[in-house]
């Protein structure tokens, strides 16, 4: 493996994963980061995804502030009217959010529903990048043609070809590395659309972050590309 460059995780979660019953506490995230050499990242709250957006987003911001991470508010796609108000509130705050996370699958909102397109357009109009969970084949087409900056958090290597097709036409489309676990997945994306479209993501502490780290550091990308993917792509994506 190559020596590790700085690593930032684009996909940190805190709170209760209601589908498995498991919990994420900040101390567990810190423990994984200490073992894997990850220095920080972007954190969102499962409380906001599953239950209550304002208090969940406050939780994420508190965790971010307490650990030197970056908070990522969530908007609830089940409540587009509430999402309008929450985004307005976030944009009026002294510290502008770095990105907005959407969870259409967890919230059972089909991307073809009016709410999804409406909330997406609000976020794009605000000039913020979208961090989006779910199947890239289903969600990706609904995000085309908007000039959106998007990070797909759940791209599986089975559907890598679909991501590449989307990303060729959409310069703002990026993908997390988390499930690009085929022997040539990272390498194909880098060759097709550039390493700057790959963003290191571990879904710490629910996913096996050690595996994501090893996949990147033992890849056939150049050292410069590994550094790009490890932290620089995320930093660039979050620039205002």
Partner 1 sequence: MLIDVHAHWGPWFFSMEVGPIEVNSELLDRFGIDLQLVSSIEAIVYDAPAGNRALDEQLGVDDRLRGMVVVDPRRLEEARADLTRLAGDVRWVGAKIHSEYSRTPIAAPAMQAAIELTTEFGLPTLVHTWGDTVLDLADVAARVPGARVLAGHMGAAGWPLVPEAAGRSDRIWFEPCWSAPEAGRIRWILDRIGPDRLMFGTDATLIDPSVALGALEAADLTPAEADAVRWGNAVGLFGL
Which chain residues interact with partner 1 by CB under 8 A?
20, 32, 35, 156-158, 160-161, 164, 178-179, 181-185, 188, 204-215, 218
Calpha distance 148→171 (Å, rounded) = 9
CB atoms within 10 A of CB 114: 8
CB of 207 to partner 1, least distance (A): 6
Residue that is written with structure tokens 């972007």 in the block: 42
CB of 175 to partner 1, least distance (A): 13
Calpha distance 172→124 (Å, rounded) = 11
- Judged by beta carbon, residue 185 or residue 232, the one nearer partner 1 is 185
Provide the 8-state DSSP code for 74.
B
- Judged by beta carbon, residue 57 or residue 204, the one nearer partner 1 is 204
Using DSSP, state whether 216 is helix, strand or coil.
Answer: helix
- Judged by beta carbon, residue 149 or residue 215, the one nearer partner 1 is 215
- Judged by beta carbon, residue 28 or residue 118, the one nearer partner 1 is 28
CB of 229 to partner 1, least distance (A): 14
Q: Under a CB-based contact definition with an 8 Å cutoff, are residues 72 and 41 in contact? A: no
- Judged by beta carbon, residue 84 or residue 181, the one nearer partner 1 is 181
Calpha distance 26→15 (Å, rounded) = 9
Q: Under a CB-based contact definition with an 8 Å cutoff, are residues 231 and 40 in contact? A: no
CB of 115 to partner 1, least distance (A): 27
CB of 192 to partner 1, least distance (A): 9
CB of 181 to partner 1, least distance (A): 5
- Judged by beta carbon, residue 122 or residue 212, the one nearer partner 1 is 212
Provide the 8-state DSSP code for 141.
G
CB of 218 to partner 1, least distance (A): 5
Q: What sign does the dihedral 235-58-94-143 (CA atoms) show? A: positive
Calpha distance 138→112 (Å, rounded) = 9
Helix (H) or strand (E) holding 56: helix 53-67
- Judged by beta carbon, residue 149 or residue 178, the one nearer partner 1 is 178
CB atoms within 10 A of CB 67: 18
């Amino acid at each position: 493996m190559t020596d590790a460059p700085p690593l930032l995780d684009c996909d940190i979660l805190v709170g209760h994963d209601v589908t498995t019953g498991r919990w994420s506490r900040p101390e567990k995230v810190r423990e994984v980061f200490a073992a894997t050499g990850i220095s920080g990242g972007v954190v969102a709250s499962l409380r906001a995804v599953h239950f209550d957006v304002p208090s969940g987003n406050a939780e994420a911001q508190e965790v971010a502030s307490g650990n030197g991470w970056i908070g990522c508010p969530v908007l609830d796609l089940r409540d587009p009217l509430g999402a309008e108000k929450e985004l307005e509130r976030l944009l009026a705050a002294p510290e502008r959010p770095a990105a907005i996370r959407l969870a259409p699958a967890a919230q059972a909102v089909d991307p073809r529903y009016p709410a999804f397109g409406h909330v997406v357009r609000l976020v794009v109009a605000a000039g913020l990048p979208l961090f989006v969970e779910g199947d890239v084949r289903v969600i990706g087409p609904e995000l085309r043609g908007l000039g959106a900056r998007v990070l797909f958090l759940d791209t599986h290597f089975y559907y890598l070809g679909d991501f590449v097709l989307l990303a060729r036409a959409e310069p703002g489309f990026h993908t997390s590395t988390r499930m690009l676990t085929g022997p040539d997945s990272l390498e194909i994306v880098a060759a097709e659309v550039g390493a700057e479209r790959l963003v290191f993501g571990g879904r710490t502490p629910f996913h096996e972050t050690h595996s994501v780290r090893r996949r990147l550091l033992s890849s056939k990308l150049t050292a410069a590309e590994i550094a790009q993917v490890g932290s620089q792509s995320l930093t660039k994506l979050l620039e205002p």
